Structure 1
């Protein structure tokens, strides 16, 4: 292997490690062209254009390479050689300079067809520009058992003004709103938000932190802009932001600038000068409202809050009936189960029914005889499943007692006193 081959081998090895290095690829193409390997040189230049279609240096190289294609004289065609031989003009005749021909890019692109993709791709007809899934819920608040206090708060603070355009016009209020649902995890905040959209007959978009936050700098802000732009196109629309404490955490607690800019973008979209949110209703849900940036709690943003507590007895009965509706049960004392599950979240009640069903399944598997799910299975399940809301109330107690600025947590404080948790 001579020095030229070793150099080409080294360059190809370097390009295997860094295929996107256009400069290095063009250097290899020039070496191949100088050595007479025209196909290899054009292939490398075409690959460089694939990585950087706007590279003028690669395009100029393609022009040079195409101009060096073998002519008829080089292939032994004597007639072509005679035609191609330059003729000197007569000294007594005026010198005629032929016009410079434009380079035929169409012909050049046909020469490299298959090596380089098209510079621009047309968007297919009928393509959907929406990034986030949009629903049209048929769920209504009447479909949710119990939770009458929460329904009343939603009606007074949010739904009644939205349903009455004449009253809004009379009192000069705008068709926009922001409401924050907070409370222990697993108590149906997303379910309630979907029911609110159903009450309004509006589109519904639910978004979590994984749909917005991105690893690359600036992409999270772009995701928020796209989200709000889509919600405005779908108006009237209920936009539900889950885990607002993660998206809009206090900027004073952010270690880097990344999350601060995300909060700034969220503030701008919710109540910025250029934001036109008419017909856009923003609902947020959080387990930790005390971690939400204070700017997000100001008027025009999440200025109203609703505490979503563990289901009351009526709601617990409805949830238990829902989870047992398609299961083989007999002699289930729902009244007893409702009384013994005070403090259970909706998710806890679902887990309780699953655990009771597992007890019956295991017993049937061991005996070889299928049996129904009975109260004995629920007795076992109640010894295993404990309410998950206790740790949340332990953490919320300190906030309600010592950080209840402006009465933001009066509802929580009243509930804690009623339940004798303080």
Structure 2
């Protein structure tokens, strides 16, 4: 029996016996060995939900998440656009020289947090994670294409910040969070950084390994320290990547699970029970919004969702130009490659360029001279690289069909109706 057939059988067995912890942990290990880290991570979380003290699962979880927190490569889904983008009036610099969003009362936010002391830590505890805090130099103008996403961000999030008096007149609050969701590799993290750039705010990325610990109560303390640090560093965009891993539905967790307490702690911090969240803007990104606890979607929390779809034609053209810019290129019909890569994620389009470059390099070594990339090289790469978004849309179609009674996924439903072949 081949390894793939064996793994498929084991996955089927896990579906039939979801509470079989040893079996699920064995499957997680096999998935990790095959480079399917995201699936392995989900199985690890399920194991810990049933057996929070399982040291083997915690060890595998730490190995998997160590790759998540490594310095990321630039998010390819929103690569820099073609030269000479449309001019955008920059926000006025504040007294520190940092660009801040005009219209929002940053002074008030700074006064609220200026006197906040560093959180008091128990003996032996580490300091809050601060090395991941940055000040992005990118803005939404640097995001290629995706005009619908930009418009939704402007209406739901940035517009009220620019016009606080008008927002107040219409009863629009400046609290709460924003959830970016969609297929993997489509630029959610890049867009979150661009939002922070628009606000002129610090950007604090939080991954699963920044929060989860194997000792009881430590994960909750990590969550509290992260929010305390964001308040001290306000204005700050607190970005939770893979939110479904940290904010999993509590109905799927055992009563004694440490993950359940971690979700409760996040809810308390977002409600600011222990401090003032003025100047702290919470963003989340997920590929599986349907797995997030419903309490995190209530008003004042992640109460607004923006669908980030595979890059449109202008965005794909920008990504292709970006990834071909430093490679030897001959005649390339960019419009044709853009048409051939419909429904490809940004990561898929970048992989097309890499695959084409590998083919051109192999041919160059074979003929003993430089072979510049051509349209044929890119066409051959497109045939070899299949879009990775198909499996996600298959799951999303079921969600839209059976779990959209509250209209949360109307945007996704409209997209699927327009693209029935997905």
1:153-194 C-alpha deviation (Å, 9 max, x unpaired): 000000011122333454565442300000000000000000
- Higher-RCO chain (CA-CA 8 Å, sequence separation at least 6): 2
Q: Which runs of 5+ in 2 are unaligned?
A: 1-126
Are positions 1:333 and 2:359 aligned together? no
Could you say what secondary structure the match of 1:406 adopts? coil
- Which residue number corresponds to residue 320 of structure 2? 320
Q: 1:239 to 1:129 in 2, by over 3 A?
A: closer
Q: Which residues of 2 match residues 306-317 of structure 1 at below 5 A?
A: 306-317=306-317
- Which residue number corresponds to residue 15 of structure 1? none
- Which residue number corresponds to residue 411 of structure 1? 411
1:257-299 C-alpha deviation (Å, 9 max, x unpaired): 2110000000011114334111111000000000000000000
Distance 1:273 1:217 in 2: 22
Q: 1:129 to 1:186 in 2, by over 3 A?
A: closer
Distance 2:314 2:397 in 1: 26
- Which residue number corresponds to residue 142 of structure 1? 141
1:35-74 C-alpha deviation (Å, 9 max, x unpaired): xxxxxxxxxxxxxxxxxxxxxxxxxxxxxxxxxxxxxxxx
Could you say what secondary structure the match of 1:192 adopts? helix
1:337-365 C-alpha deviation (Å, 9 max, x unpaired): 00010000000001000000000111111
Q: Which residues of 2 match residues 277-316 of structure 1 at below 5 A?
A: 277-316=277-316
8 Å Cα contact 1:138-1:198 kept in structure 2: yes
Distance 2:170 2:413 in 1: 33
Could you say what secondary structure the match of 1:238 adopts? strand
The TM-score, its normalising length taken from structure 2, stands at 0.68
Deviation, 1:221, is 0.9
Q: Which runs of 5+ in 1 are unaligned?
A: 1-127
Q: 1:129 to 1:396 in 2, by over 3 A?
A: closer
CA RMSD of aligned residues (A): 1.7
- Which residue number corresponds to residue 207 of structure 1? 206
Corresponding residue pairs, total: 296
1:348-389 C-alpha deviation (Å, 9 max, x unpaired): 001000000000111111222122111221122112100000
Could you say what secondary structure the match of 1:284 adopts? strand
Distance 1:297 1:421 in 2: 31
Distance 1:279 1:353 in 2: 40
Could you say what secondary structure the match of 2:134 adopts? coil
Distance 1:143 1:281 in 2: 21
Are positions 1:360 and 2:379 aligned together? no
- Which residue number corresponds to residue 101 of structure 1? none
The TM-score, its normalising length taken from structure 1, stands at 0.68
8 Å Cα contact 1:203-1:236 kept in structure 2: yes
8 Å Cα contact 2:176-2:299 kept in structure 1: no
Q: Which residues of 2 match residues 75-86 of structure 1 at below 5 A?
A: none
Could you say what secondary structure the match of 2:302 adopts? coil
1:196-226 C-alpha deviation (Å, 9 max, x unpaired): 0011111111111122111222111111111
Are positions 1:218 and 2:214 aligned together? no
Greater alpha carbon shift after TM alignment, 212-221 vs 406-415: 212-221
Are positions 1:398 and 2:394 aligned together? no
- Which residue number corresponds to residue 232 of structure 2? 233
8 Å Cα contact 1:176-1:279 kept in structure 2: no
Q: Which residues of 2 match residues 247-258 of structure 1 at below 5 A?
A: 247-255=246-254, 256-258=256-258
8 Å Cα contact 1:187-1:311 kept in structure 2: yes
- Which residue number corresponds to residue 153 of structure 2? 154
- Which residue number corresponds to residue 178 of structure 1? 177
Distance 1:168 1:420 in 2: 38
Could you say what secondary structure the match of 1:273 adopts? coil
Deviation, 1:330, is 1.0
Could you say what secondary structure the match of 2:133 adopts? coil
Q: Which residues of 2 match residues 45-194 of structure 1 at below 5 A?
A: 131-171=130-170, 173-194=172-193
- Which residue number corresponds to residue 116 of structure 1? none
